Chains A and B, each alone.
Chain A
Amino acid sequence: MKSFSLLLLGFYSIANASTSSYQIENIAFPDDMPPEIGGLAFDKNGNLYACLRRGDVLVTKPGKDPSSTKWNVFATGLHNPMGMELIKPGHIVVTQMAEFTEIIDTDQDGVADRYNNLASDFGISGNYHETNAICTDGAGGFYIALGTASHNGPTFFTPRGEYSKEGRRGRNFSSNDLRGWVVRYHKDGKLTPFASGFRMHNGITRSPDGEIWCGDNQGDWRGGSPIYHVKSGSFNGHPSSLVWDPDLDGFGSPLFLPRKMLDDLHNQPAVQLHRTTMNSCGEPFIIVSKKFGPFHGQMLMPDENGRRITRIMLEKVDGAWQGASTLFLNTKELRAGGVRIVMDDSQKTIYYASTARGWQRPDEGLQRITYNGKTPFQVKECKLTTKGFKLWFTLPLAEPKKLKDQISVQSFRYEYGYRYGSSDKDKKDHKVQNLTGEGPYEIVVDQLEPSRIYEIKFDEKLHAKNGQSMADLNAPAKIHYTLNRLKRPETKHPATLSQKDDKIDVSIGGKFFATYNFNKLAQPIIWPVQGPGNIRMLRDYPMKKDTPGEANDHPHHRAFFIGHQGMNGANFWHNQFKNSGTVEHLKVIETRSGEDRALIKTLNSWKDNEGKIIGADTRTLTFSGDDQAHILDLEINLHATNQDLVFEEFKDGFVGIRTHPDLRLNPSPKHGVKEVFGKARNSEGTEGKAIWGKRADWVHYHGTIEDKPAGIAFMSHPSNITRKGEKPWWHARDYGLISANPFAPEKIGGDGEYRLPRGQSLKLRYRFIFHAGLAKDAKIGQRFTEYAKDPGHPTSLMPPHPGYPEDYLSQKKK
């Protein structure tokens, strides 16, 4: 086929951005061509491929003079292509609306003649908003970002792929198969779901170290413009796409799931870009070059609604990426609608593509940005410390001694919820208490809290030694650090996890602590559990039936278990009854390992004996400890997903353990337990058998286990619900059952029935201290005081549940 060579004359200007470090040039297109660029890629010969949203794919070899750019038409007829990767010269892959397409110039005449459908096993509703982007998977395949539909447009009567009425609800929606997901196209042609929860991830990038990154657009369920580190199986916050997650099947419309349940499922964005620096994210770009200024290894994010590029400084804290952001370029010389960035061979120049047709006034085109070698004055790096932040500047400061007074720190939170975007909420001014170092500089801030964004502002008086100020960059001199996780303290006893199929083993300082078992059981349990010195803490029966000296009573008392005798008619305490329900482990949401504590977060479904869903829970199990004690924290959020969740008043509930038989208060010769060594005491000073049915902050069983002094303390966090604010009620038996029950019958002194309205969540927190040594040395009272101050895991700021349409619409009619 003949290739169409077009010598084009276009407008041309060199625009010196306000920064003198980067030169911006416009690349020319024919005047009648809409240069709406959805994808950019260089081949090994230095040819630049650009796919245009109306369907053409152009190729050029950029020269020194951008005004004489000669474009060839390589391919035509694509439907709104927003993703492109180059395989080799004359061979590209493109994501267009309906399809992931391979385009090849088989006869090598410069014009493509073969268009292969690589993948189309995903839905397309007909909504204009469902564009797709790609990046490689590093293994011969690709990740595809499938955008959602917008309520500013309809679906067709005849979409492609399975249609979901539940997924169709909401502002941005996922009416058809896998919209709002990242899917993986494997080298062998298989397409598998990878991660859910996206609103509009217009761009996806694989970093040189193999991590997958997506930005998203500010909007519903997006307080700021988030950047996600996309992990396999993760849910990234926007609920609509959850209709295509089989684990979430049966909980009703994802849009109306309990807020805390969504929050617990949410893989928090690594970075939230502030509205003053970003409106909507284009595609992340990682600077692999050392010739493009002093920002090697960092990320750039173009703003598809603004004339600016933001720079992101990432670090790994407590096992996850988070970090700071600041403006990189902010100038009218840039076109608005920045979506894609690629770098050329020189490693000094990036090509910046913009398109905004359809969401704002068209400002389409291609520009190149070249570093001229003059170091800009900027914050080069910002890292979290245990007490504040460490700052590196690109240039030496003029007056480093004055720096402390030139820095101010504020923090705020973004809302997570249905509202479109969020203002800065819950603002706090922080004191810079101290500044040390001579570059890097370390600042100490009066308060560091997770789930907040810290804004570090620099006074205009701050200058580099060479006279440059940050204001020279025409950028507000500030950075925002998204603090999801605090830096963990140093430890000699790191808590580690290792998962094998349906079990996770926990060790403290390399010594076994516990195993979380989450499958093929009536409910997930923790067993076995060992204290320091390999002391077995809990009963083996019925998981293991031949342990000598154990009674075989109450087979439902399985080491560490969670349940209640009556919830909406189902029994989750006794596994052997006719109305016995099951707690089904659905997924491990997250684990953290290797720091001073390890953590397992899971999602579970509560089902009655007929398999009907009663509700759900998300639970976080946190493990820590040392040579004296192994500590387990349970934070369980119970979610009324399908109806009001009624905790009926029953004595048997809610979180229970069954101790090693040696810790029993009384023997049971009938059951073969002849001798026991246990004593019990609660926080109120009551001792022995009398602690049953009493109210207390904690109960402590202690004595000797297999001839070694040891004990177990079970604490209820003061934030747990109780009637009239009294202390919690304990179902603690002399035969070694200890359980905290907020729903015990009133006639035996309990709190009575509790009704959790549909759409709401109930949080319960407990701490277990499995200690070696004597009771008096275990300092349980002091440990409780510490526990009472522990804020637990952060909860996002969320607007209240809006209610269920079937409820509020029927009320309206009345």
Chain B
Amino acid sequence: MQSFRILYFILSCTYLFFGQNYAQDYATKGYITFDTKPLGSIEKPLVLRTFVPTAGVSQEKVLANHSQGFNSPKYSAGNGKESTKEYQPIDGIPAAVAVNLGKTFSYAWDTTECRLLFAWTDGFLDMKNYWGTRESGRRKGFGYVPKLYGFVFYKAQGFHPLLINGQSIAEFGVPKYVGYSLGKDRLPTYDYKAGKHSISVKVNPGPATQTLRLDFISPSKEDMDFKSPNTQIQQIHKSPGNLSVVIRPNAGVRLSSDEPKVVIKEPTLEIGEHLYTSLGCIACHSLDGGKNHGPTLKGSFGAKREFLEAEPLIVNDAYLRESIEKPMVKTVKGYLAGMMPPYQLQEAEYDSLIMFIKSVR
């Protein structure tokens, strides 16, 4: 609990920094209000069936059991005729469950694919385009899918990641969603069927920020594995019928439902420090020399680095920029490749972050 409190503090600062205001109506009142940015809490998670954005997960692999929507001719009910103009489909997932534990953790689990789609921090869903304002109740015509805001740190990759007795359940046909139970912690445990196998899965916040833990149960005690491309997975428990994995961040996109975006013109150390926590660098890169999933930032600037497959170099601005923007290009010796997600930031944000890293001596 202690770690969460600290996190709360840090995140509160974050929100103050961005000038955002969260009412957390649901967490405090226990019912959905007119507030179009509903938020739960650790004590009172918000489970919401709603349309959600795809957040760019692969239509072909992750959304393999969805059908495909197409353009369609515009039509006039006045004369019964079609025109050459067309309606276009929009991005969205029709049958997901979105869950929010407050500022620390949100995820979307899909009942069609029976899998976790993506997870994020620093926000949840902005329902305004869907629910409308209290006064008008008007949805946004062709853009009513609730907007995801916050920092997406995990996106599902590839076909269904679960293997039963060594075989991917994607090979068992369309999975069948059965339902969910709310436990004492009010988090849902989803039940589904893949072929003849019943499976339960619970999605939990992970041991560190921007990580998550999946607990799978097979009532018939099957052997389970979790495999997903471009995703760092740590198996923390495995026994017949049980599997728990911790998933590290494999994405790094900050999304905002506010328009326009706040533009940062001048890089500052303060912004850099804020980004270090809010983007989740803190989860893997220590400031005190401690070893973690990534190298410590302490004294890194100017230090010699050796890589798995690249020539050694002395850490400079260009290298830092590259390792934030395209971390997969070089992996420091002694660390696992592909652990760190790429971060798309504004120019001044990159500069601020580099400024901060340089300052960690």
Chains A and B are bound partners: yes
| Contact assessment for A55 and B82 in the assembled complex, using a CB-CB cutoff below 8 Å | no
Q: Is A358 an interface residue (CB 8 A)?
A: yes
B48: which of A33, A77, A153, A803 is its contact (CB, 8 Å)?
A: A77
Residues of B within 8 A of A56 (CB): 31-32
A116: which of B83, B88, B179 is its contact (CB, 8 Å)?
A: B179
**Whole-angstrom distance between the Cβ of B187 and the nearest chain A Cβ:** 11
**Whole-angstrom distance between the Cβ of A778 and the nearest chain B Cβ:** 48
Q: Is A404 an interface residue (CB 8 A)?
A: no
Check A154/B31 contact, CB under 8 A, given A97-B49, A171-B75. no
Q: Is B73 an interface residue (CB 8 A)?
A: yes
State in angstroms the CA–CA spacing of A28 and B75 once bound together: 43
A98: which of B95, B142, B144 is its contact (CB, 8 Å)?
A: B95
A34: which of B34, B79, B90 is its contact (CB, 8 Å)?
A: B34
Question: Which of B63-71, B197-205, B320-328 has 4 or more CB atoms under 8 Å from chain A?
Answer: B63-71
Residues of B within 8 A of A123 (CB): 67
Check A154/B78 contact, CB under 8 A, given A115-B179, A159-B66, A356-B137. no
Residues of A within 8 A of B19 (CB): none
| Contact assessment for A159 and B67 in the assembled complex, using a CB-CB cutoff below 8 Å | yes
**Whole-angstrom distance between the Cβ of B64 and the nearest chain A Cβ:** 10
Q: How many interface residues does A have (CB within 8 Å)?
A: 76
Residue in chain B with minimal CB distance to A32: B33
Q: Is B260 an interface residue (CB 8 A)?
A: no
Q: Is A145 an interface residue (CB 8 A)?
A: no
State in angstroms the CA–CA spacing of A255 and B130 once bound together: 29
| Contact assessment for B69 and A156 in the assembled complex, using a CB-CB cutoff below 8 Å | yes
Check A809/B84 contact, CB under 8 A, given A76-B32, A97-B49. yes
| Contact assessment for A158 and B54 in the assembled complex, using a CB-CB cutoff below 8 Å | yes
| Contact assessment for A113 and B182 in the assembled complex, using a CB-CB cutoff below 8 Å | yes
Residues of B within 8 A of A160 (CB): 66-67, 94-95, 112
B81: which of A155, A173, A808 is its contact (CB, 8 Å)?
A: A808
State in angstroms the CA–CA spacing of A123 and B94 once bound together: 10
| Contact assessment for A158 and B59 in the assembled complex, using a CB-CB cutoff below 8 Å | yes
Q: Is B87 an interface residue (CB 8 A)?
A: yes
State in angstroms the CA–CA spacing of A420 and B88 once bound together: 23
State in angstroms the CA–CA spacing of A338 and B125 once bound together: 30
Q: Mark B120-143, 1 if CB is under 8 A from A, else 0.
A: 000000010011101111110110
| Contact assessment for A154 and B48 in the assembled complex, using a CB-CB cutoff below 8 Å | no
Question: Which of A124-132, A244-252, A277-285 has 4 or more CB atoms under 8 Å from chain B?
Answer: A124-132
A158: which of B68, B78, B79 is its contact (CB, 8 Å)?
A: B68
From 169 to 183 in chain A, residues with beta carbon under 8 angstroms from any chain B beta carbon are 169-171, 173, 175-176
Residues of A within 8 A of B338 (CB): none
**Whole-angstrom distance between the Cβ of A632 and the nearest chain B Cβ:** 37
| Contact assessment for B32 and A34 in the assembled complex, using a CB-CB cutoff below 8 Å | yes
From 158 to 195 in chain B, residues with beta carbon under 8 angstroms from any chain A beta carbon are 177-184, 186, 188
Residue in chain A with minimal CB distance to B67: A163
From 121 to 154 in chain A, residues with beta carbon under 8 angstroms from any chain B beta carbon are 123-126, 128, 151-154
Residues of B within 8 A of A78 (CB): 49
Q: Is A805 an interface residue (CB 8 A)?
A: yes
Residues of B within 8 A of A101 (CB): 179
| Contact assessment for B31 and A6 in the assembled complex, using a CB-CB cutoff below 8 Å | yes
Q: Is A368 an interface residue (CB 8 A)?
A: no
| Contact assessment for A120 and B177 in the assembled complex, using a CB-CB cutoff below 8 Å | yes
B79: which of A115, A153, A170, A802 is its contact (CB, 8 Å)?
A: A802
Residues of B within 8 A of A6 (CB): 29-31
Q: Is A99 an interface residue (CB 8 A)?
A: yes
Check A358/B137 contact, CB under 8 A, given A156-B94, A163-B70. yes
Check A163/B94 contact, CB under 8 A, given A6-B30, A97-B49, A805-B81. no
Q: Is B50 an interface residue (CB 8 A)?
A: yes
Residues of B within 8 A of A99 (CB): 49, 95, 111
Residue in chain B with minimal CB distance to A166: B72
From 662 to 683 in chain A, residues with beta carbon under 8 angstroms from any chain B beta carbon are none
The residues of A with any CB-CB pair to B shorter than 8 Å are: 1, 4, 6, 30, 32-34, 52, 54-56, 58, 73, 76-79, 96-99, 101-102, 106, 112-117, 120, 123-126, 128, 151-163, 165, 168-171, 173, 175-176, 219-220, 255, 356-358, 361-362, 417-420, 799, 801-803, 805, 808-809
Q: Can you name 13 A-B pairs with beta carbons within 8 Å?
A: A1-B184, A32-B25, A77-B49, A79-B51, A97-B51, A154-B69, A155-B72, A157-B92, A175-B72, A358-B132, A362-B137, A418-B79, A419-B80
The residues of B with any CB-CB pair to A shorter than 8 Å are: 25, 29-35, 46-51, 54, 59, 63, 66-70, 72-75, 77-84, 87-95, 97, 111-112, 127, 130-132, 134-139, 141-142, 144-145, 177-184, 186, 188
Instruction: Give 6 new A-B contacts, CB below 8 A, not counting A4-B31, A158-B59, A356-B137.
Output: A79-B49, A113-B182, A126-B94, A171-B77, A358-B139, A799-B80
